[in-house]
Homo-oligomer: A and B are copies of this chain.
Amino acid sequence: MSENDPYQSTGQREDEPLPRVAAADLRDAWPVLDAEARIEGFRYLTSSDAEEFFLELPAFDRATIVTGLPTAEQRWWIRALPPDDVADVIQEINEEDRSRVLSLLDDSSRREISALLAYSEDEAGGLMNPRYARLRPDMSVDEAISYLRRQTRERVESIYYAYVLDQQAHLLGVVSFRQLMMTRGDALVRDVMETDLIRVPEEMDQEALSALFAQHDFLSLPVVDANGCMKGIVTADDIVDVVREEATEDIQKIGGTAALEAPYLQVGMFDMLKKRGGWLVLLFVGEMATEGAMSHFGVAIEKAAILAFFIPLIISSGGNCGSQASTLVIRAIALGEVRLRDWWRVFARELAVGTSLGLLLGIVGFVRIMVWQNTFKNADDPTVGFYGEHWALLGATVGFSVLGVALWGTLSGALLPFALKRFGLDPATASAPLVATMVDVTGLVIYFTTAAILLHGTLL
C-alpha cells in the first residue's frame, strides 16, 4: 500500500490489541481507499472521531459505511442523521438493502423518510428537511421565543427562520429570530410575520431552486404542496451541494460523457466504460459520415493531394468554434441568463461573432500559406515557391473555407443547446465532441466545394 496507509502512520499495530486510526490520517487516505478499507479504517476511529467523521461524509460514502457495518452499528449510525440525510443515504443503497435499513428506524422517522423518498432526488421535496421551527399566528412574541426554545430540543435543524402555520398547516408567513428579538414581547406573531414570502413548490427542479437561492441570498426557503401546506425547508448548505452536483453533471456531459454520479476514483471500471463508451461509439459512428464525404471528393484528392493536407486544420476550426459557442450557451441557459425564447438574440450575436472569428482565422490561414510560399522551397520544382504557382488560389480556398466552417460551427454550436431544450432534453448534451462531430462533415463539404469553385482549371 502507499505512504497513505492509515495503519502505517500509527506505527505500532503489532503491540496494541485495538489499534486506533487518527481521523486526519483516514481523511487523507480516504480518496484512494476501496470500500472495504474504508469500513475497516472507520471502525478503528475513536467513537467521537467517528461521529464527526461520519457527519462530514457525502451520502455516497455514508451508504458505503452503513451497509458495511454489523446491524447493531448500522442502527446507531443511521439514527444519528436528520431525516433528509437518511433519505439521501437510502437513495445510495441498492434496492434489496433499502427496506432492511429502513426497518432500523423508529416508526415516526420511517414515516418521515418514506414521505421524502416519494420525491425525486432532484426536486425540492427530495432536498427538504421535514423538521423546521413552526409557530402559530396568535402566539405572542414572548410565547414564540420560549416555544422555539423548546423546539430546539427536538432536533430542529435551524431556528433562524420560524414558519407560521394555521391548524391545517397552511403556510401563513415567516418570522426571523432576529425580528422576534427586536420586537416587544406582547406583540402577536401574526403582526410581526412577513407574509410576502417565496414559497417553493414540492416539485421545483433543483436547478431552478439553486437559481432562486443564488438570486436572493436566502439561508432557507419553505417548501409547500399544491394546497399551500408547509412540507419542509430547504437550506443554503444543501444548495451548495446541489450546485456542485449540477455543475459536475454539466461539465461531464460537455466533455462527452454520461454523468458519472459518483466520485471519479469510486466509479467501477464497468460503469466507467459504459458511461464513456456509449457516447464514444455514437460519436464514432456519426463521424463515419466523414469517410463518405471524403470518398465523394476522392477525385479531387487524387488530383491534388495537397488539398488533403489542410483537412484536419479546416475541420478542427469548425469544431473549436462550435465547442466555444455551445459551452457558452449551455452555461448561460443553466444560469437562467438566456431563455428559450432568446434564441434569436443569441443567433444574432453569434452570427456577428462567428463571422468576425471566421474572418480572423481565415486571414491567419491565408497569411500562413503566403509566408510558407515565400520562405520555403518546393521539393519538386524550386522555382515556384513552396505551394507552387497557384498558391494564392490555394490560400484563398483555405481562407474562405475556414471562414465558412468557423461561422457554421459557431452557429450550430450556439443553436444546438436551444434545440435540445426545446425538445425537453438537457442542453448540456450538446457536448464539445458532439458539436465537433456534427460540423466535421459540413466542414468537408464547405472545403471541397470552395476548392471546386476557386481551383477549377488550375489544381482541379
Question: Quick one: CB contact mask for A324-358 with B, threshold 8 Å, 1 for yes?
Answer: 10111111100101110010011001001100110
Known interface pairs A287-B312, A433-B432; A324-B217 also in contact (CB < 8 Å): no
Asked if A290 and B313 sit within 8 Å, CB to CB, the answer is: yes
Complex Cα distance, B305 from A323, in Å, reads 30
Complex Cα distance, B402 from A329, in Å, reads 31
Among the stretches A93-101, A164-172, A270-278, the one at the interface with B is: A270-278
Asked if B294 and A301 sit within 8 Å, CB to CB, the answer is: no
Known interface pairs A337-B263, A338-B264; A309-B295 also in contact (CB < 8 Å): yes
Cβ-based interface call for A104 (8 A): no
Asked if A255 and B254 sit within 8 Å, CB to CB, the answer is: yes
| Main SS class of interface, A | helix
Chain B contacts for A5, CB-based, 8 A = none
Among the stretches A6-14, A117-125, A243-251, the one at the interface with B is: A243-251
Asked if A312 and B309 sit within 8 Å, CB to CB, the answer is: no
Chain B contacts for A431, CB-based, 8 A = 323
Docked complex: A205-233 residues within 8 A CB-CB of B = 210, 213-219
Interface size class of A (residues with CB under 8 A): 35 or more
Among the interface residues A210, A257, A290, A319, which one has the most CB atoms of the partner chain B within 10 A? A319
Cβ-based interface call for A365 (8 A): yes
Question: Quick one: CB contact mask for A287-312 with B, threshold 8 Å, 1 for yes?
Answer: 11011001100100110011011111
Chain B contacts for A392, CB-based, 8 A = none
Instruction: Out of B273, B320, B368, B437, name the residue touching A256 (CB < 8 Å).
Output: B320
Tell me how far the C-beta of A457 lies from the nearest C-beta in chain B, rounded to whole angstroms.
21
Cβ-based interface call for A18 (8 A): no
Complex Cα distance, B437 from A237, in Å, reads 40
Instruction: Out of B255, B288, B321, name the residue touching A327 (CB < 8 Å).
Output: B255
